[in-house]
Amino acid sequence: MSRQIVMPFGPQHPVLPEPIHLDLVLEDETVVDAIPSIGYIHRGLETLVTKREFPEYVYIAERTCGICSFIHGMTYCQGIEQVMDLEVPPRAHYLRTIWSEYSRIHSHLLWLGLFADSMGFENLFMNSWRLREFVLDVLEETTGGRVIQGSCKVGGVRRDISNGKLTAMAADLAGFEQKLSDLADVFLHDDSVKSRLVGVGNLSKTDAYDTGAVGPTGRGSGVAIDMRMTGYAAYGDLGFEPVVEKGGDCYARCAVRVRELFSSVEIIRMAIERIPDGEIEVKVKGNPEGEYFSRAEQPRGELVHYVKGDGTKHLVRSRIRTPTLTNVPPLVKMLQGCELADVPVIVLSIDPCIGCMER
Amino acid sequence: MTYLTRSPWILHYDASSCNGCDIEVLACLTPLYDVERFGILNTGNPKHSDIFVVTGGVNEQNREVIKNIYEQIPDPKVVVAVGICATSGGVFRECYNIMGGIDRIIPVDVYVPGCAARPESIIDGIVKALGILEEKRARMRQPDTGKKATGGETV
């Protein structure tokens, strides 16, 4: 056996948009173990519940992460609504679903770009991000913000989208979908992409389940787990089917996300077709008393917001568990036995969102 | 725009930001905004870079990393604080693990406010930084007025 050496990866590294540190234990070019250490982005925002009133904390919840900010705000609001027994109007549910799915498309396209960059495919990176600007334009037109939307509130949503605008959005999706399929074609069928991804970073179904993989990381290994199946917001009405791949390698995880882009487009189209007219919010009276675990599907997997109130306008406790945190043990599993040159691709394949993870 | 005679490279570091500003910094580099037309490239190596773009309100663990990167960037260098967190701590100002702004750790030349900072304002901030970079370079060449450029003079 050759001598073992430990090589640091991060916190500042060209493929990482955010800091995480991995100690890679190497034998020649083979990684035998990876020891992650975190804490570079920890802000301690959960403690702010004691300083901000519960309706204001939506803004803090949204800023847990700038990529899936809308879903963070929505999950927190759903928790408070459950504690306070608020009946959110159906139109608000549909609008939340539409914005969630646009966020998912923007997040997946962002990830596809970064992933292409990690395998040295600069042109594909640029093209994914060019396409992503279409989604950001829609979000900006309908909510006012490109990456932090601020359109969700306890009891509903802050602003409506007119039916005319919704029809126009649905019409624009056709052209967008065409461009998406051109992009998907490269990710799924290009030989050089395949040679970088197929068989790299294997995670078996049992390992995925045992280590607690969620989201596309789990679904790429055949674990059909998706919180949208629980039917929160309008997903119950829309008849949701999760996207599952069996390969368990980087290619399968990429394929899950590529296929989810199309399923998100389909969900948005259906939601626009079926959205009912009516109110977009209910009046919130009193303060929350009680506790609730609110769960939703983020682009990276299952997101949990725990809220606990004692009848005052400040919550006692908020706890956020994000998918990247649960996807770190599967990542360590994938890295064991891989080659050093594949480390950036494998790390990116779980779609790490460190800002989320460390809160 | 006469100072756009060189190709300054940027180094981007996320110092406890929520990602919002980071993805907008990256969006600047991609086709719609395309700062490469100013000769600007994003690099991962401090020794290759001239402009240090930092986002986020800085936590305890990031402090040394930022100092370390800053010291490794050769003179003249400029620091651009992107987003309200990098400027003052923003919504996280009262969090127990947030220092509250990059200028508590290293000198900052340009502040770009916003939550998240828009790509247009980030580009504006970086173009301002290019001017400061040239001033610092000119100052370094004069034998009398100090060799080392210091930051924190221009907004």
Sorted by where each begins, the domain ranges of chain A are 4-358
Of A42, A63, A113, Cβ closest to residue B59: A42
Q: How confident is the model at residue B155 (pLDDT cuts 50, 70, 90)?
A: very low
Which of B9, B10, B13, B16 to mutate against chain A (most A CBs within 10 Å)?
Answer: B16
Number of domains, chain B:
1
Cα separation, A300 vs A116, in Å, equals: 17
Of A41, A48, A145, Cβ closest to residue B16: A41
The answer as to whether B1 is a domain residue is: no
Nearest CA in chain A to B56: A41
CB contact under 8 A, B44 and A13: yes
- Report the gap between the CA of A18 and the closest CA in chain B (Å): 6
Partners of B49 on chain A (C-beta within 8 Å) are none
Of A15, A113, A355, Cβ closest to residue B19: A355
Q: What letter would DSSP give residue A50? A: G
Partners of B19 on chain A (C-beta within 8 Å) are 17-18, 65-67, 353-356
Nearest CA in chain B to A125: B30
CB contact under 8 A, B95 and A147: no
Q: Write the class of the CATH domain A4-358.
A: mainly alpha
Q: What confidence tens digit (pLDDT) does each residue in A154-188 have?
A: 888 888 888 888 888 888 888 899 999 988 988 89
- Report the gap between the CA of A101 and the closest CA in chain B (Å): 18
Which whole number is the average pLDDT over A124-133? 89
- Report the gap between the CA of A226 and the closest CA in chain B (Å): 24
CA distances from B6 to B2, B37, B41, B126 (A): 10, 12, 12, 14
Which whole number is the average pLDDT over A64-91? 88
CA distances from A299 to A197, A336, B42 (A): 21, 25, 26
Confidence check: pLDDT of B154 > 50:
no
Strands A4-9 and A21-27 come out as: antiparallel
Partners of B116 on chain A (C-beta within 8 Å) are 66, 145-148
The answer as to whether B146 is a domain residue is: no
Confidence check: pLDDT of A39 > 80:
no
How many helices (H) and strands (E) would you count in chain A?
13, 8
A36 has a chain B CB within 8 A of its CB: no
Q: What confidence tens digit (pLDDT) does each residue in B40-80 have?
A: 888 878 888 888 999 888 888 888 888 888 988 988 889 99
Confidence check: pLDDT of B125 > 50:
yes
The answer as to whether B151 is a domain residue is: no
Of B22, B94, B98, Cβ closest to residue A18: B22
- Report the gap between the CA of A66 and the closest CA in chain B (Å): 4
Percent of chain A exceeding pLDDT 70 equals 98
Q: What letter would DSSP give residue B45? A: -
CB contact under 8 A, A43 and B97: yes
Tokens of B104: 């508590």
B14 has a chain A CB within 8 A of its CB: yes
| Owner of token pair 């500003």 | B21
CATH number at residue B58: 3.40.50.12280
Q: What confidence tens digit (pLDDT) does each residue in A293-343 have?
A: 989 998 988 999 998 888 888 888 888 888 888 888 898 888 888 888 888
Q: How confident is the model at residue A149 (pLDDT cuts 50, 70, 90)?
A: confident
- Report the gap between the CA of A273 and the closest CA in chain B (Å): 31
Q: Which domain holds residue B62?
A: 9-141
CA distances from B42 to A80, A163, B7 (A): 42, 42, 11
Q: Decide: helix, strand or coil at residue B120.
A: helix
A12 has a chain B CB within 8 A of its CB: yes
Q: How confident is the model at residue B111 (pLDDT cuts 50, 70, 90)?
A: very high
B19 has a chain A CB within 8 A of its CB: yes
CB atoms within 10 A of CB B65: 19
Confidence check: pLDDT of B141 > 50:
yes
Question: Do B29 and B37 meet the contact criterion of CB atoms below 8 Å apart?
Answer: no
Partners of B14 on chain A (C-beta within 8 Å) are 17-19, 40-41, 354-355
- Report the gap between the CA of B37 and the closest CA in chain A (Å): 14
Cα separation, B123 vs B129, in Å, equals: 10
Partners of B27 on chain A (C-beta within 8 Å) are 129, 133, 136
B140 has a chain A CB within 8 A of its CB: no
Provide the mean pLDDT of chain A: 87
Question: Do A113 and A128 meet the contact criterion of CB atoms below 8 Å apart?
Answer: yes
